[in-house]
């Protein structure tokens, strides 16, 4: 009996190898201002303690989990709103007098009439748009570009600046940005790209770069190959702007060399003339030449002469 007792006591003592196998506890704390930092700590912990990152389908699996949690949160939020609206309606119903159902029915009928009228008006406008074609180009923003749903862009005659909002706390290693001569692709790793399309005009790839601003937005600078032309859009297929309303900053004209400045000022003059239905500088010059030629040759008939 004494021998058995000694054997049991010896077996009950933890060995050094089993003590070393005990994993370190997870100590990261969620900071609402930096949820991605917490997720990074979680993935690092799981990577040390399991074979998760050896899976070939890791990114797809993680994306599926994220989508599942997001859908669950959206469903719960909708459920709470429906319950709150039902509770408010029930509480309000207790205070309504007997004649309120008639008033409510009348109000509902009027609401349906207004809704039907608005629907007819919308359909009429849609038919008019189909008849007359899509609306024209939009007016540019203050940066001679356009503010879109997922990003905004602006331009000068030399460059195009693209600003893409991302979740707060985003690290640069999570960003994917590919700039080629005719194409731009920007997004976050493991997610569909935010921008992925053909550029309006070619760029000088060696003079283009991107940066992460305050861990909340991606800034992309594109240097135009043709620096004498306004872009109608950043990526083909997106809404276009009215380039005749684009204006270079007057403070920057003085920085240009004389030849470039002269070209820019001529282009600005021609744009203003076209917007007012007046001849451009080239057309005015041709008209002057024709008038001079007509004065020198009164014997010729210029009644059918056209300026090309």
Q: What is the pLDDT of residues 161-219, one digit of tens each?
A: 999 999 999 999 999 999 999 999 999 999 999 999 999 999 999 999 999 999 999 99
More reliable by pLDDT, 208 or 56: 208
* 64 SS3 class: helix
Enclosing H/E stretch for 184: strand 183-188
CATH class assigned to 146-245: mainly beta
169 near 32, Cβ under 8 Å?
A: no
Q: Give pLDDT, residue 186.
A: 96
Confidence of residue 299 (pLDDT cuts 50, 70, 90): confident
DSSP 120: H
pLDDT at 122 exceeding the cut of 80:
no
DSSP 153: E
Alpha carbons 43 and 37: distance in angstroms, whole number: 10
Q: What is the pLDDT of residues 184-197, one digit of tens each?
A: 999 999 999 999 99
pTM over 0.85: no
Indicate the domain borders of the chain.
Answer: 35-81, 146-245, 258-296
Tokens of 105: 């029915």
205 near 180, Cβ under 8 Å?
A: yes
Q: What is the pLDDT of residues 265-282, one digit of tens each?
A: 787 777 777 767 788 888
């Amino acid at each position: 009996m004494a021998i058995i007792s000694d054997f049991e006591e010896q077996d009950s003592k933890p060995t050094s190898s089993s003590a070393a196998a005990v994993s370190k506890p997870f100590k990261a704390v969620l900071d609402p201002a930096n949820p991605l930092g917490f997720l990074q700590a979680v993935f690092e912990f799981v990577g040390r303690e399991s074979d998760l990152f050896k899976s070939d389908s890791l990114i797809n699996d993680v994306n599926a989990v994220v989508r599942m949690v997001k859908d669950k949160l959206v469903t719960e939020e909708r459920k709470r709103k429906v319950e709150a609206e039902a509770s408010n309606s029930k509480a309000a119903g207790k205070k309504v007098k007997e004649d309120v159902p008639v008033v409510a029915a009348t109000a509902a009928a009027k609401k349906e009439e207004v809704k039907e009228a608005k629907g007819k008006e919308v359909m009429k406008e849609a038919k008019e748009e189909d008849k007359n074609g899509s609306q024209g180009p939009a007016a540019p923003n203050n940066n001679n570009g356009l503010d879109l749903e997922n990003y905004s862009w602006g331009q000068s005659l030399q460059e195009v600046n693209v600003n893409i909002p991302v979740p707060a706390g985003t690290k640069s290693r999570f960003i994917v940005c590919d700039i080629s001569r005719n194409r731009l692709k920007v997004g976050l790793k493991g997610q569909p790209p935010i921008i992925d399309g053909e550029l309006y005009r070619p760029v000088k790839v060696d003079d283009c770069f991107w940066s992460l601003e305050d861990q909340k937005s991606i800034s992309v600078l594109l240097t135009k190959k043709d620096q004498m032309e306004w872009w109608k859009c950043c990526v083909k297929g997106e809404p276009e702007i009215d380039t005749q309303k684009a204006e270079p900053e007057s403070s920057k004209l003085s920085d240009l060399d004389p030849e470039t400045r002269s070209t820019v000022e001529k282009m600005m003059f021609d744009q203003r003339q076209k917007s007012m239905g007046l001849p451009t500088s080239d057309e005015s010059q041709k008209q002057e030449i024709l008038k001079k030629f007509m004065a020198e040759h009164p014997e010729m008939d210029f009644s059918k002469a056209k300026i090309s």
